[in-house]
Copies of this chain bind each other. A is one copy, B any other.
Amino acid sequence: MPPPSSRLVSSAPRYQQVAEELQNAIARGDHPVGGLLPPEPQLCSQFGVSRHTLRDAVRILCDMGMLHRQQGVGTRIKRAQPQQRFVATLDSLGDLMQYTQETRLNFLGSRWLEVKPPLSEWLGCAPGERWLELDTYRAPLEEDTPLAHMKVYVRPECEGIAKDIRDGDGRAWIYGLIEQHGGEPILQVRQTVSAVAMPKESARVLHVKGGSPGLQVRRQYAGADRVLSISVNVYPLNLFEFMTTWRLREASPDPLG
């Protein structure tokens, strides 16, 4: 077997070359979407590489979402083109609550309620279930001008959160409290941003006119198989922007650090 280099053009590692050739073959339609790739041993001999090298190549295409490997079955072609081109990352949800550091969470009250649509849909539960509603607002550390009105809905077993917020130092972090009281890790967060006409209740808290423009940010915190909690934030005009940066997946990993 000749050494892997000694080619003319290619200086790229063999597994990258194989990945590229495979990608081209799939894009060309040699392997139809939905079908199975030939077994690894066959591909190995076809490309003249060891199984390990081939698997490194296949891994790349899996990461790009084109292939899906399943033990005992085979490698299925999911897409002819790479998906997930853009990726956004969060450092442990720090960005989601970016200004937690400079603000304080204040307790207004809490009450039990039987949820109705659309709340029940947001919670992923049947109408009529009992959840605890926490009424809070967020303000700068030294002032008391509210920046946001927030309602949080938690399951009965997380009732203790209310006390933590009421008696805490205001540095509480909904995300952490949920994991702590629910005893279940948060695996997924879904965030929905929309425009709202300021509801009366929020308007009163935020000292703005009812019906004036506002931003509603709804966050759904989910565990393995159920919604653990949701929060609904309302921000007045000009006080809040939500920014997300998407990077090309292939691009160098975070040039900023």
Interface, chain A (partner B; CB < 8 A): 52, 81-93, 96, 185-198, 211-215, 235-238, 240-248, 251
| With known contacts A188-B248, A212-B213, A240–B194 Cβ distance under 8 A | yes
**A88 → B minimal CB distance (Å):** 5
Q: What residue in chain B is nearest A79 (Cβ atoms)?
A: B91
CB atoms of B190 and A245 under 8 A apart: yes
**A22 → B minimal CB distance (Å):** 19
CB atoms of B187 and A215 under 8 A apart: no
Best-surrounded residue of A195, A237, A242, A243 (most CB of chain B within 10 A): A195
Best-surrounded residue of A89, A214, A243 (most CB of chain B within 10 A): A89
When A and B form their complex, which 6 residue pairs have the shortest distance between CB atoms, in order from nearest? Answer: A213-B213, A195-B215, A84-B89, A194-B241, A86-B90, A85-B92
CB atoms of B87 and A88 under 8 A apart: yes
Give complex CA distance A256, B21 in Å. 29
**A119 → B minimal CB distance (Å):** 16
Best-surrounded residue of A91, A214, A236 (most CB of chain B within 10 A): A91
Give complex CA distance A191, B191 in Å. 14
Partner of A194, one of B86, B87, B191, B242: B242
